[in-house]
Structure 1
Amino acid sequence: MDIKSKSKYLVVIWALLVSFGLSGLFSALTNGSQFLQGDYFESEEYGYQMNRFVSLLQVFELNSMTKEDMKKEITVSDEEIEEHRMRYGNLGEQISNIGMQYEQQIQEAIDSGNKTVEAALTKERDAKIADITENFNSDEHVRAKIMKEKEKRIDEFYQELEKYRQQFVNFGRAYKYYMEDAETGEVFTNLTLKDGDSVSDFINDKEMYFVQDYGDIQEFYGYTGISEQFMPYNEVAEAILANQNNNFTGKIGLSKNAPASLQAIGDYRYFQKRQLLFIGYMIASIGALIAAYVIARRKPAIVFGTFENFKPIYAKVPLDVRLGIMLATGGFFLLTLTLISEQFVYYNSDIFSSLIELIISLAAAAALLAFGLMQLKFFAEYRNDGQLLKDDLQKSLVFKAYKAILDAFLIRSIGIQLIVLLGFVFGLGMLAAAVLVEAGFIVVFGLAFIFIGLPLLIIIMKKAGYFNKIVMNTEELAAGKMGSDIPVKGKSIFAKHAADVNTLRNSVKVSHKEQAKSERLKTELITNVSHDLRTPLTSIITYTELLKTPDLAPEDRDSYIEILDRKSKRLKVLIDDLFEATKMASGNIELRKDKVDLIQLLQQALAEHNEALSQSSLQLRVSQPDHPVYAFVDGQKLWRVFDNLIGNILKYSLENSRVYISVKAEQDQAVLTFKNVTKYELGEDLNELFERFKRGDQSRHTEGSGLGLAIAKSIVDLHEGSLDIEVDGDLFKVTVILDKVS
Structure 2
Amino acid sequence: MATKLKNKLGIGLWAALFSFGLSGLLSLFSLGSHYVHRDYFHTPEFRSELDQFAQYVNLFELNNITLEKAKQSITVSDDEIENYREEMGDLTIQISSLDEQYQSRIEEALAAGNPGAADIYKAERDKKIDDVTKVYGSDDYARAKLTAEKERQLEGVFKEREQYRTDFLKYKDQIQYYFESSLSDNVYTNLKASGDTPVQEQINFSNMRYITNYSISNEPPGYKGLLDMELYADTMIPYKGQFAVARNLSSASPIMTEYHAYKREQMTLWTYALASIAALILCAIRAKQAMAIPSSANRWRVYYNKLPMDVRALLAVSTSICAISLIASASDQFLYLFSNPFVYGWKMVIRIAAASICLAASLIQGRIWVAQFKDGPAAKKDWANGLLPRTGRRIRLLCALAKQHVADAFLHKSIGVQLLTLLAIIYGLGAASWIISLHPALMIAYAIMLAGAGIPIVMLIVRKAGYFNRIVLQANELAAGKPGQELPVSGQSVLAMLASHMNALTNGVKLLQNEQAKSERLKTELITNVSHDLRTPLTSIITYTELLKKEDVSAEDKLAYIEIIDRKSKRLKVLIDDLFEASKMASGNVELAKDKVDLVQLLQQTLAEYDDMIRDSSLQFRFSAAEEQVYAYVDGQKLWRVFDNLIGNILKYALDRTRVYISIRTLDNQAVISFKNVSRYEIGDNADELFERFTRGDSSRHTEGSGLGLAISKSIVDLHEGNLEISVDGDLFKANISLQRME
Whether the TM-score (by the shorter chain) exceeds 0.5 is yes
Structure-2 residue corresponding to 1:259: 251
Letter of the 1:544 counterpart = I
User: Are 1:174 and 1:265, in contact at CA under 8 Å, matched by a contact in 2?
Assistant: no
Structure-2 residue corresponding to 1:223: none
Cα distance change, pair 63–484 in 1 and its aligned pair in 2 (3 A): farther
User: Are 1:173 and 1:258, in contact at CA under 8 Å, matched by a contact in 2?
Assistant: no
Structure-1 residue corresponding to 2:663: 662
Structure-1 residue corresponding to 2:397: 403
Pair 1:536 & 2:541 matched = no
Whole-Å separation in 2 of the counterparts to 1:444 and 1:332: 57
Whole-Å separation in 2 of the counterparts to 1:642 and 1:464: 65
List aligned pairs for 1:439-478, cutoff 5 A.
Answer: 466=464, 470=468, 473-474=471-472, 477=475
Q: 1:207 aligns with which of 209, 217, 220?
A: 209
Whole-Å separation in 2 of the counterparts to 1:44 and 1:445: 75
Deviation, structure 1 residue 580: 3.4
Structure-2 residue corresponding to 1:713: 714
Question: Once the two structures are superposed, what CA deviation does each residue of 1:450-483 show, in whole Å capped at 9, x if it has no partner?
Answer: 9799969986996698579758955873682566
Deviation, structure 1 residue 625: 1.1
Pair 1:60 & 2:37 matched = no
Pair 1:297 & 2:292 matched = yes
Unaligned runs of 5+ in 1: 218-225, 227-232
Cα distance change, pair 282–168 in 1 and its aligned pair in 2 (3 A): farther
Cα distance change, pair 27–658 in 1 and its aligned pair in 2 (3 A): farther
Letter of the 1:535 counterpart = D
Whole-Å separation in 2 of the counterparts to 1:483 and 1:139: 114
Whole-Å separation in 2 of the counterparts to 1:139 and 1:336: 74
Question: Once the two structures are superposed, what CA deviation does each residue of 1:217-265 show, in whole Å capped at 9, x if it has no partner?
Answer: 9xxxxxxxx9xxxxxx99999xx9xxx9987877777877563662744
Cα distance change, pair 117–255 in 1 and its aligned pair in 2 (3 A): same
Letter of the 1:550 counterpart = K
Structure-1 residue corresponding to 2:232: none
User: Are 2:664 and 2:671, in contact at CA under 8 Å, matched by a contact in 1?
Assistant: yes
Which secondary structure state, in structure 1, belongs to the residue aligned with residue 736 of structure 2? strand
User: Are 1:14 and 1:292, in contact at CA under 8 Å, matched by a contact in 2?
Assistant: no
Superposition TM-score, scaled by structure 2 size:
0.69
Which secondary structure state, in structure 1, belongs to the residue aligned with residue 292 of structure 2? helix
User: Are 2:666 and 2:672, in contact at CA under 8 Å, matched by a contact in 1?
Assistant: yes
Pair 1:349 & 2:332 matched = no
Letter of the 1:637 counterpart = K
Deviation, structure 1 residue 297: 0.9
Whole-Å separation in 2 of the counterparts to 1:199 and 1:634: 141
List aligned pairs for 1:420-439, cutoff 5 A.
Answer: none
Question: Once the two structures are superposed, what CA deviation does each residue of 1:669-712 show, in whole Å capped at 9, x if it has no partner?
Answer: 22333344445566666555545445565665554444434433
Q: Percent identity, aligned pairs only?
A: 31
Structure-1 residue corresponding to 2:545: 547
Cα distance change, pair 107–78 in 1 and its aligned pair in 2 (3 A): closer
Whole-Å separation in 2 of the counterparts to 1:451 and 1:374: 66
Cα distance change, pair 82–125 in 1 and its aligned pair in 2 (3 A): closer
User: Are 2:721 and 2:739, in contact at CA under 8 Å, matched by a contact in 1?
Assistant: yes
Structure-2 residue corresponding to 1:621: 622
Which secondary structure state, in structure 2, belongs to the residue aligned with residue 201 of structure 1? coil
Whole-Å separation in 1 of the counterparts to 2:426 and 2:127: 56
More deviation, 660-669/159-168: 159-168
Deviation, structure 1 residue 649: 3.9
Cα distance change, pair 458–524 in 1 and its aligned pair in 2 (3 A): same
Structure-2 residue corresponding to 1:577: 578
Whole-Å separation in 2 of the counterparts to 1:718 and 1:189: 132
Structure-1 residue corresponding to 2:198: 195
Deviation, structure 1 residue 716: 3.0
User: Are 1:477 and 1:505, in contact at CA under 8 Å, matched by a contact in 2?
Assistant: no
Which secondary structure state, in structure 2, belongs to the residue aligned with residue 576 of structure 1? helix
Which secondary structure state, in structure 2, belongs to the residue aligned with residue 384 of structure 1? helix
List aligned pairs for 1:22-61, cutoff 5 A.
Answer: 23-24=19-20, 27=23, 31-36=27-32, 39-41=35-37, 49-50=45-46, 52-53=48-49, 56-57=52-53, 59-61=55-57
Deviation, structure 1 residue 35: 3.9
More deviation, 149-158/50-59: 149-158
User: Are 2:585 and 2:716, in contact at CA under 8 Å, matched by a contact in 1?
Assistant: yes
User: Are 1:540 and 1:564, in contact at CA under 8 Å, matched by a contact in 2?
Assistant: no
Whole-Å separation in 1 of the counterparts to 2:485 and 2:377: 59
Question: Once the two structures are superposed, what CA deviation does each residue of 1:409-446 show, in whole Å capped at 9, x if it has no partner?
Answer: 3344848989999999999999999999xx6x888999
Whole-Å separation in 1 of the counterparts to 2:7 and 2:447: 65
Cα distance change, pair 34–630 in 1 and its aligned pair in 2 (3 A): same
Whole-Å separation in 2 of the counterparts to 1:93 and 1:650: 136
Cα distance change, pair 687–554 in 1 and its aligned pair in 2 (3 A): same
Q: 1:384 aligns with which of 377, 382, 387?
A: 377
Which secondary structure state, in structure 1, belongs to the residue aligned with residue 394 of structure 2? helix
List aligned pairs for 1:138-537, cutoff 5 A.
Answer: 162-163=162-163, 165-167=165-167, 169-170=169-170, 195=198, 197=200, 201-202=204-205, 207-208=209-210, 259=251, 262=254, 264-265=258-259, 268=262, 271-272=265-266, 273=268, 276-277=271-272, 280=275, 294=289, 296-297=291-292, 299=294, 302-303=296-297, 306-312=300-306, 314-315=307-308, 334-347=324-337, 349=340, 351=342, 355=346, 359=350, 363=354, 366=357, 370=361, 383-385=376-378, 386=380, 389-390=383-384, 396-410=390-404, 411-412=406-407, 414=409, 466=464, 470=468, 473-474=471-472, 477=475, 480-481=479-480, 496=494, 499=497, 503=501, 506-507=504-505, 510=508, 513-514=511-512, 517-518=515-516, 521=519, 524-525=522-523, 528-529=526-527, 531-533=529-531, 535-537=533-535
The count of aligned residue pairs is: 700
Structure-2 residue corresponding to 1:722: 723
Cα distance change, pair 195–391 in 1 and its aligned pair in 2 (3 A): same
Letter of the 2:735 counterpart = V
Deviation, structure 1 residue 630: 1.8
Cα distance change, pair 623–200 in 1 and its aligned pair in 2 (3 A): farther
Deviation, structure 1 residue 157: 6.2
Whole-Å separation in 2 of the counterparts to 1:79 and 1:652: 140
Unaligned runs of 5+ in 2: 230-234, 411-415
User: Are 1:18 and 1:289, in contact at CA under 8 Å, matched by a contact in 2?
Assistant: no
User: Are 1:15 and 1:370, in contact at CA under 8 Å, matched by a contact in 2?
Assistant: no
Pair 1:736 & 2:737 matched = yes
Cα distance change, pair 421–496 in 1 and its aligned pair in 2 (3 A): closer
Deviation, structure 1 residue 383: 4.4
Structure-2 residue corresponding to 1:637: 638
Cα distance change, pair 426–34 in 1 and its aligned pair in 2 (3 A): farther
Greater Cα radius of gyration, structure 1 or 2: 2
User: Are 1:644 and 1:712, in contact at CA under 8 Å, matched by a contact in 2?
Assistant: yes
Cα distance change, pair 694–456 in 1 and its aligned pair in 2 (3 A): farther
User: Are 1:274 and 1:346, in contact at CA under 8 Å, matched by a contact in 2?
Assistant: no
Letter of the 1:514 counterpart = L
Which secondary structure state, in structure 2, belongs to the residue aligned with residue 259 of structure 1? coil
Which secondary structure state, in structure 1, belongs to the residue aligned with residue 530 of structure 2? helix
User: Are 1:67 and 1:155, in contact at CA under 8 Å, matched by a contact in 2?
Assistant: no
User: Are 2:545 and 2:565, in contact at CA under 8 Å, matched by a contact in 1?
Assistant: no
Which secondary structure state, in structure 2, belongs to the residue aligned with residue 409 of structure 1? helix
Cα distance change, pair 325–413 in 1 and its aligned pair in 2 (3 A): farther
Cα distance change, pair 336–110 in 1 and its aligned pair in 2 (3 A): farther
Whole-Å separation in 2 of the counterparts to 1:426 and 1:248: 80
Whole-Å separation in 2 of the counterparts to 1:106 and 1:700: 134
